[in-house]
Amino acid sequence: MKYAFSILTAFCLVLFSYSESHSTDRRSTEKSIDSDDFPVPTNVPGLLFYIQRDPNSNTICYQLNVDKQGKISEKNPVNTFWIRYTDGGVRKDLNYLQRKFAYGINSKQTGNSSFELRSVAYSKMPLYLRKDSKDEYHVYASINKKECILNRVFIHIDGGTFWSPNVLYIELKGTDTATGKTIIQRIKPT
């Protein structure tokens, strides 16, 4: 558990410190955050998962990268971008620093249309992009020691500094591949 928290904390610190927008909305002043109050990205074809965090509702989306014929890009299977809810919900590409040091994904093909994904922020946390029995792509992760389809990561921050935010918890949310139930794991600092 301590190892998982270290991984996610490193990921969170980079995510927060390279955030392009420092604007806040009403959530930044609340002490109790309900991650279900944040907007859910819609109208994103091939959405794999997304990350949300304090101090605002801006969202980083991870989308399946396919060509016009629907074939996955083997060189770059995941497209990453912002939905800037604090700017009216506009879509915006990541800048170079965000792509290379914070939110980007490195991929390695592991087999027939399967990929191992690693965050550029912390490469020790593997995710797996592969097809399910219906021939649809998903990102798989271990949540509460269960294989799950990763849907969302939420990072709750309460104060701290720009370079060292006070992370209260990191929440992983996914769908258990065996039961279809929603699995949520909150990781808190120890």
Note the pLDDT of residue 26. Answer: 36
Does residue 105 contact residue 117 with C-beta atoms inside 8 Å?
yes
Q: How far is CA 122 from CA 4, 25, 76, 179, in A?
A: 11, 28, 18, 30
Q: In degrees rounded to 5, what are phi and psi of residue 3?
A: -60, -45
Does residue 50 contact residue 42 with C-beta atoms inside 8 Å?
no
Instruction: Pick left, alpha or beta for residue 55 (phi over 0 → left; psi -120 to 50 → alpha; otherwise beta).
Output: alpha
Residues 87-102: tens digit of each pLDDT: 999 999 999 988 988 7
Note the pLDDT of residue 47. Answer: 98
Note the pLDDT of residue 54. Answer: 84
Note the pLDDT of residue 166. Answer: 83
Note the pLDDT of residue 146. Answer: 96
* Residue for token pair 């930044």: 28
* Residue for token pair 């909305």: 25
Query: What tokens were used for 56?
Result: 């605002």
Note the pLDDT of residue 74. Answer: 92
H helix or E strand, kind and range, residue 79: strand 78-84
Does residue 141 contact residue 116 with C-beta atoms inside 8 Å?
no
Residues 149-168: tens digit of each pLDDT: 999 999 888 888 755 778 78
Taking the C-alpha atoms of 145, 130, 48 and 104 in order, what is their torsion angle to the nearest 10 degrees?
90
Note the pLDDT of residue 125. Answer: 73
Does residue 127 contact residue 143 with C-beta atoms inside 8 Å?
no
Does residue 51 contact residue 59 with C-beta atoms inside 8 Å?
yes
- 190 residues of the chain, pLDDT tens digit each: 444 444 444 444 444 433 344 333 434 333 446 777 899 999 999 999 999 988 789 999 999 999 999 899 999 999 999 999 999 999 999 999 889 887 899 999 998 889 999 988 767 778 999 999 999 999 999 999 999 999 999 988 888 875 577 878 889 999 999 999 999 999 887 6
Residues 14-28: tens digit of each pLDDT: 444 333 443 334 343
Q: In degrees rounded to 5, what are phi and psi of residue 131?
A: -85, 150
